[in-house]
Amino acid sequence: MRISPFSAYQTEQPELHFTPKKDETHLYDVVILGGGFTGISAALELAEAGSDVAVIEAYGIGNGGSGRNGGHLLPDWPSSFHHIAKYLSSEEADLAWDIGMSTVDLALSRMKRYEIKCDLQMGYVHAAYHKGHEADLHDMQETYDKRGHGGLTFLPDEDAIREHVGTSTYHSALHEAGAGHIQPLKYLQGLARAAEKAGADIYQNTIVTKIDPATASVTTKNGQVFKGRQLLLCGNAYLQNVAPTKMRRTLAQVTSSVLATAPLSHNLAKLILPQNDAVADGNAALNYYRLDAQNRMIFGGRASYMIPDNPAIVGRDLRKRMLSVFPELSEAEIAHIWSGRIGITTSRIPEFGSLSAKCHFVQGFSGHGVALSGMAGKILAQNALGDGTTFETMAKVGHIPFPGGPLRTPVLALGMAYYKLRDRLKI
């Protein structure tokens, strides 16, 4: 089975078409680079507040991580809250905590408000392979409890786990009622339509080759110049060399891959995921999976610093990972395999920052952006509209550049190999 350049979602859903009402000669209030969850969310907020907005997207809406992810819809920040709290006063930390915990609520409220049908299912299992992972789950539960956030149930043994996941692989787990899964491209396209309806101009197939933070403008491959009073950079891991050095130093790109099986029988689906939860394990190069609305297993994992990842081994490796959890899927046909780019920071906390008074960015959702990037886009929009409280708070969180200089990729790969070894040794 070959890796497809498109996700299963992209091959099944027609691309959207948009007709911008203005063109690049117009001075927009805000130009947004990137048509993923972050950029579209910012555009929606801004357009609804009456701003004149242009979204510039290199390909079709959903070509980036937002249209090719696992669809796991999780609240909270991607890594321990202490990486945020240590930079903030206690009031600021409270604000950051509330922001993290309201990301799923924002997504749910938008699904309802814009009537976006995206196969939403609530219920999530954080699985531990061993006592080391279990300690992380206890930490998570303690932090939630301390801050008065409920919804977590500890699953101490195989019997308790089997009510949610039909496997004997895990040592223990934590069930989260306030998280779940969606078909992400349906959600993104719904948001993009809502942004267009609110007045945003969306330019697809428009590749930006140059960014000028001082004048809040971008130049495209075809020589068009889009200018705004403000510029928001929402290209995340796909921005690559177009990103100014300040952004590149603190972001590493990782390839994550996903497979979709052919639809499983109702009985098999009920056996492996009886309550239709989504599941992720605690490994550094984690496995994450769920059943979609057609009962296909959508199984993701395999983090790699190779862009693109090695096509010869991606499918084999993903299948092996899936069978290690569910040997009963050995006969399941692998219908689709695809990859995408994840932007990670050293702390795994997204970076909010500015390149000039007119140019702001967020990047590095570290594989945890389906709900969070929507909130990040909203925060960028609020800042552009003059309420910088949350943006400025999040911009206080420090980010250490990745080591390595010219040897950056080999150094990062070495780091990842170390964490994969730890996963294998179960420490």
Contact residues: ligand FAD, CB under 6 A? 33-39, 56-59, 63-66, 68-72, 74, 207-208, 234-239, 242, 256, 258, 288, 300, 340-342, 365, 367-370, 373
Considering beta carbons, is residue 63 or 393 the nearer one to ligand FAD? Answer: 63
Choice between 60 and 263, CB closer to ligand FAD: 60
CA-CA distance, 387 to 392, in Å (whole number)?
A: 9
Nearer residue to ligand FAD within complex by CB, 66 or 345:
66
Could you tell me the smallest distance in angstroms from the CB atom of residue 331 to ligand FAD?
A: 25
| Shortest Å, Cβ 425 to ligand FAD | 26
We find the least distance from the C-beta atom of residue 317 to ligand FAD, in angstroms, to be 14
Rounded to a whole number of angstroms, the minimum distance from the CB of residue 427 to ligand FAD is 25
Nearer to ligand FAD, 3 or 160 (CB): 3
CA distances from 258 to 99, 185, 299, 302, 314 (A): 29, 14, 5, 8, 9
In three-state form (DSSP H/G/I as H, E/B as E, the rest C), the secondary structure along the chain is: CCCECCCHHHHHCCCCCCCCCCCCCCEEEEEEECCCHHHHHHHHHHHHCCCCEEEECCCCCCCCHHHCCCCEECCCCCCCCHHHHCCCCHHHHHHHHHHHHCHHHHHHHHHHHCCCCCCCEEEEEEEECCHHHHHHHHHHHHHHHHCCCCCEEEECCHHHHHCCCCCCCCCEEEEEEEEEECCHHHHHHHHHHHHHHCCCEEECCCCEEEEECCCCEEEECCCCEEEEEEEEECCHHHCHHHCCHHHHHCCEEEEEEEEEECCCCHHHHHHHCCCCCEEEECCCCCCEEEECCCCCEEEEEEEECCCCCCHHHHHHHHHHHHHHHCHHHCCCCEEEEEEEEEEECCCCCCEEEEEECCEEEEECCCCCCCCHHHHHHHHHHHHHCCCCHHHHHHHCCCCCCCCCHHHHHHHHHHHHHHHHHHHHHCC
- Tell me which residue of 45, 30, 64 sits closest to 365, measured CA to CA: 64
Nearer to ligand FAD, 107 or 198 (CB): 107
Q: How far is the CB of 89 from ligand FAD (least distance, A)?
A: 27
In angstroms, give the least distance from the CB of 90 to ligand FAD: 27
- Closer CB to ligand FAD, 228 or 340, in the complex: 340
**Minimum distance from residue 376 beta carbon to ligand FAD (Å):** 7
Annotate 113-151 with b (16+ C-beta within 10 A) or e (fewer). Answer: ebebebebbbbbbbbbbbeebbeebeebbebbeeeebee
- Beta carbon of residue 369, minimum distance to ligand FAD (angstroms, whole number): 2
Contact in structure between 126 and 280 (CB atoms under 8 Å): yes
Closest residue to ligand FAD in the complex (CB): 369
Q: Considering all CA atoms of the chain, what is the largest pairwise distance in Å, rounded to the nearest integer?
A: 64
Q: Are strands 27-33 and 225-233 parallel, antiparallel or unpaired?
A: parallel
Q: How far is the CB of 62 from ligand FAD (least distance, A)?
A: 7
Measured from the CB atom, the residue of 71 and 263 that comes closer to ligand FAD is: 71
In terms of CB distance, is 70 or 100 closer to ligand FAD? Answer: 70
Query: Which lies closer to ligand FAD via its Cβ, residue 308 or residue 403?
Result: 308
Nearer to ligand FAD, 32 or 92 (CB): 32
Least spacing, CB of residue 145 vs ligand FAD, in Å: 23
The smaller minimum CB distance to ligand FAD, of residues 215 and 328, is found at: 215
| Least distance between ligand FAD and beta carbon 342 (Å) | 5
